Structure formats: C-alpha cells, structure tokens
C-alpha cells in the first residue's frame, strides 16, 4: 500500500503517543484498516534542536520554535504531509506556505502538581524546591508563594518524574494533558486551578500543521473540533499581542459556555511580584466569521493587558 499521509513527529514518548493517536484518527477518516496503518499513514521521526539541548531554558537557546523548526522544514520540503505539535509549542506566526489545518478535541488544559511527599501545592513547606522550566509556571507559583525556590527542570516526562523520585525536587509542575495521554494520571497529586495557574495558550490542544494547499484534504475536517479551534484562536490572539514566547510569562484560557466564548489572559513579572489580567466574552460562537472574531478578541484583550502592564513589565 502506498503512503497516503506521512506524519512528522518528535521522538519523545509524549510526541510519539500524540502522533500515534492522530495516526489512528487520520487512518480511520481515510478508511485504512488498522493492519495497514504503519504503511499507509507512517510516523516519520524527526529530532529537533529543542530535544537535543536539555540543559538550558528554551529562552536561552531560541525559544519554543526549536521544537517545531526541523519538522516544519520537512513539511515544507515535502518529506512529510502533516506535523503533529503540542499547540503550546507552536509559535504565534506560521512559516510561509504552512498553516494549522486542524485542531482536534482538547485534553484537560490544567497544570498538574506532582510530588512524592506533599499532597497539594499549598502543603509545600517554606523554601521548598519546585521544578519547572516554564517562566509562566515559575511566575504563577511565586505570585502565590514567593518563598519557593524555583529550579530548572527540562527533559521528557519520564526524565522529570525520575528526577523528582531521586529527590532533586520537592515537587514539579507538568501539564495534566501530557500525563493523561501517557497513562500517568496516577502521579497527579493535584490538578491546579485555572484561576491560580492560568494555562499556556493552547495548552492541552494539538495542532495539525500542513502545507496551505493541503487544507482541503478529506481527513482535515474529520479531525478538526470547531469549538477547540475557536478557543485556541482566541488564546493565540492574546499570545500574539503579548509577544508570547518563552521569554514572557503569559497565560490564556478560553472556553465555550452556551453560545458564548469567554477568554481570560494575563502577563506576570517572572518573579511573581506583579500580575496583569483581563477577561472578555464573545457572544455568538456559531456566527459567520467566528474564528476571525475570536482571534480579534484575543488580540484586543492582549493589547489591554500589555497597556495595563506598561513599562512595569519585566521581560528577562
């Protein structure tokens, strides 16, 4: 059987798990039998710079694009037909000729508190060592608990859990979605509130990226969840306005309620000493141009937060 759709993916266990989920969904949409999946919808493993460099924060080596750049090059060159990314890793601007064609239904978007010793974030003792490589999680944790000692933690989920088990940290913060997809729900001690830990824009969602000319492919519509796509469009609008990258501590969360969409976004000083947050609502999620309207709401709300922060914001 000839290749129908080649999927570009990172080699991490989480990336392979997520791409495997999409492999089965694309195969199902195309009527491919499970026995033929590996040949008809093959996974093409690509090592990214973000995977190779594990000892520094992403912002020190070029930002979140380092998890997508090599895969996007393979997509542009025609070596793969679709890339599966964690939405929160996808930069605000798409490279020329590429686009986010589909956004599947979202997993739990919250952050997870994981600890060998403590049941909740509030239980952490004074000066506890909290592991994360996320500037957002650092800022949000310090906004609540300025006494905590934030320590850099990178690597795949297995590596992070091993370092926790070996006693390098008192607790670590991870995305609930990744733990759920990997079958590691049992390690979650607490699912942190969306209010205290507003997620990264797009957290819990996947992005299926294709060449612009392939957006009409039959499987694209089958995998796209319109309400998830709408929420993510609003969050990414805010991210764009706030210059969202690994250098900026920002959060954004949008959710459909009835016929409306509510978006909350914030920017924080990296040390947690200041926090600027705004919310807005869009009335009709089913109207014509809803995607454009959602993104516009995000851009406007992000600009409001930017203006509120003004010269006080800290970008280091």
Active site members: 89
Residues forming a β-bridge with 174: 112
Helices vs strands, H then E, count in the chain: 11, 13
DSSP codes of every residue in 161-197: HHHHHTTS-SEEEEEHHHHHHTT-GGG-SEE--TTTS
Residues forming a β-bridge with 98: 211
Cα separation, 107 vs 241, in Å, equals: 25
Query: Counting every residue, how long is the chain?
Result: 316
Alpha-carbon torsion, ordered 62, 65, 71, 77, to 10 deg:
-90
Which 3 state secondary structure label does DSSP give 278?
Answer: strand
- Backbone φ and ψ for 206, nearest 5 degrees, come out as -110, 155
Which 3 state secondary structure label does DSSP give 120?
Answer: coil
Which 3 state secondary structure label does DSSP give 311?
Answer: helix
**Among candidates 228, 172, 195, which has minimal Cα distance to 110?**
195
The phi-psi region of residue 183 (left if phi > 0; otherwise alpha if psi is between -120 and 50; otherwise beta) is left
Q: Is 186 exposed, middle or buried (0-12, 13-18, 19+ CB in 10 A)?
A: exposed
> Is 157:14 a contact under the CB 8 Å cutoff?
yes
DSSP codes of every residue in 225-248: -HHHHHHHHHHHHHHHHTT-STTS
Q: How many Å separate Cα 195 from the centre of its chain?
A: 18
């Amino acid at each position: 059987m000839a290749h129908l759709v080649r999927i570009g993916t990172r080699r991490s266990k989480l990336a392979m798990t997520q791409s495997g989920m999409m492999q089965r969904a694309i195969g199902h949409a195309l009527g491919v039998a499970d026995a033929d999946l590996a040949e008809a919808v093959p996974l093409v493993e690509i090592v990214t710079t973000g995977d190779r460099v594990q000892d520094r924060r992403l912002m020190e080596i070029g930002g979140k694009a380092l998890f997508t750049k090599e895969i996007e090059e393979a997509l542009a060159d025609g070596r793969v037909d679709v890339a599966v990314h964690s939405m929160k890793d996808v930069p605000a601007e798409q490279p020329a000729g590429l686009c986010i064609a589909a956004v599947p239904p979202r997993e739990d978007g919250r952050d997870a508190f994981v600890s060998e010793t403590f049941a909740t974030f509030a239980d952490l003792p004074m000066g506890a060592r909290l592991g994360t490589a996320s500037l957002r999680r650092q800022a949000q944790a310090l906004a609540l608990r300025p006494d905590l000692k934030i320590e850099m933690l990178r690597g795949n989920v297995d590596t992070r859990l091993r370092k926790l088990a070996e006693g390098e940290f008192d607790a670590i913060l991870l995305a609930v979605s990744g733990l759920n997809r990997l079958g590691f729900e049992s390690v979650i001690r607490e699912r942190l509130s969306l209010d205290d830990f507003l997620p990264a824009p797009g957290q819990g969602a996947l992005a299926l990226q294709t060449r612009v000319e392939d957006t009409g492919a039959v499987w694209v519509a089958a995998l796209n969840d319109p309400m998830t796509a709408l929420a993510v469009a609003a969050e990414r609008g805010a991210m764009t306005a706030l210059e969202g990258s690994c250098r900026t501590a920002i959060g954004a969360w949008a959710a459909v309620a009835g016929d409306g969409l509510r978006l909350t976004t914030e920017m924080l000083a990296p040390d947690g000493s200041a926090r600027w947050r705004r919310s807005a609502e869009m009335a009709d999620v089913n109207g014509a141009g809803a995607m454009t309207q959602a993104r516009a709401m995000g851009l406007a709300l992000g600009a409001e937060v930017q203006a509120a922060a003004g010269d006080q914001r800290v970008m280091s």
